[in-house]
A and B are shown apart, each in its own frame.
Chain A
Amino acid sequence: MSLDEIKIGGMGASRRRVEDNRFIRGKGNYVDDIVLPGMLHMEILRSPVAHARIKSIDTSAAWDMPGVRLVLTGEMMAARNLAWMPTLSYDTAAVLATDKVRERPAKAAPGNVDSRGRCNERKLSIYATGGGIHPARQGTPALFLHDAPDGHLCRADVSGAVGLSEGDRHIVDPVSGESMSLGARRLRRPVDSGSVAEVPEEAYLRTLPARACRRERRHLAPP
């Protein structure tokens, strides 16, 4: 690069960082630093059990905490037709779990409190049962495939075709008979637009042709 180019700047020329001065003084302004009038904080309770069926959620202790303004459950959302929301993948996703937890960290109930300090205590109790459904691996969001009659990764609300077992290397699409291999990969979750999930090696589609993707989405779409 010639001297003139360095003087002019632009592509290839180093630039002085202007943000360091505030960062090293603790004057950065992050989202968590923003305070708005009347702002509430939200704490989300996630299910400790994958694929559990929710029998009941006891919110009484949460309501008794000082500063709690709202304890919201999927049941309350469902009463307003808000428990399920469409995604960009032509699918629907649970905003809050209602009858069944479809992935391990599924949101069961958030509580809104008026102080961040009170968020550290979780007083919601969730009573759930495993229901005999076997996730591919504990701690991993069970995703992507659906409705397996023999009880593997499933979405009970969608009648579909493909099931996936722990250790599976291939799955067969019952519609086309086509075999698809599984491998380690980070993929976008088709049921949750915009997010990326890390999943175990045995639970991922290594390559999925566009045609198969469309088929998957069709299976995932609500009937």
Chain B
Amino acid sequence: MSSSLFEEIQTPPSGDIAVRRVTINVNGEPRTADIEPRLLLADLLRQGLQLTGTHKGCDTTNCGACTVLFDGRPIKSCTMLAAQAEGHDVQTVEGLGTASELDPIQEGFKQEHGLQCGFCTPGMMMSAKALLERNPNPTEDEIRWALSGNLCRCTGYQNIVKAVLWAAEKMRSN
């Protein structure tokens, strides 16, 4: 009688994995974690810090769902090591707005119906945030170029572009 496959699952090893302590400013707060040097930033955010608003869609830097701001610049956290973020500022979608007040970009996506399933939305909003920080009055072409590293597979891009235009106008009026 052959054994069950479940019986072959081994017990986890004890303490033989090298770890490194890192401190990263995430959404304005210093967060310290003991990580494997190979750990990706996206995995640290999602699993270590439970910031699951940063999504992993492709794991190959194609889809942009994992986009976060690294010292204010949009990067794809699925291809950056967490150890590389030591001492740097990282902003995720959880750092947009507050519990009671939405960021204009979040408002724009809501007002202009810029999302359906919402999976690409955090990455889209972080890329848009970086764009509007450096260019408060972008053209539609500039928005499309800035979001070209973020893929959406259900909403389509028209409303997303309109959402960013809406947010830009609101930020200028403020």
Contact = CB atoms under 8 A, between A and B. Distances in A.
Interface of A: 17, 19-30, 32-33, 35, 40, 66-70, 72, 76-77, 79-80, 82, 112, 114-118, 120-121
A117 B36 contact: yes
Contacts, number: 92
B38 A19 contact: no
Contacts of A30: 52, 55, 119
Contact of B92 (A23, A26, A67, A68): A26
The DSSP consensus for interface residues of chain B is loop
16 contacts: A23-B115, A24-B93, A24-B115, A26-B53, A26-B93, A28-B53, A28-B118, A28-B119, A30-B55, A32-B55, A32-B56, A68-B10, A70-B8, A79-B2, A116-B43, A120-B59
Contacts of A17: 113
Given A24-B125, A30-B55, A69 B10 contact: yes
B38 A117 contact: yes
A17 B121 CA distance: 15
A30 B121 CA distance: 13
B5 A114 contact: no
A76 B17 CA distance: 28
Interface size of B as a range: 35 or more
A29 B53 CA distance: 9
Given A20-B115, A32-B56, A66-B13, A26 B5 contact: no
A82 B2 CA distance: 11
B10 A19 contact: no
Nearest to B78: A120
B12 A114 contact: yes
Which are the 3 A-B pairs with shortest beta-carbon distances? Answer: A26-B53, A23-B118, A26-B93
A27 B47 CA distance: 14
Contacts of A27: 53
Contacts of B10: 68-70
B40 A72 contact: no
Contacts of B106: 24-25
Given A20-B115, A70-B5, 16 more contacts: A19-B118, A20-B109, A23-B117, A24-B93, A24-B106, A24-B109, A25-B53, A25-B106, A29-B52, A30-B52, A32-B55, A66-B16, A67-B12, A69-B12, A70-B9, A76-B8
Contacts of B51: 26
A20 B8 CA distance: 44
A19 to B, nearest CB: 7
Nearest to B10: A69
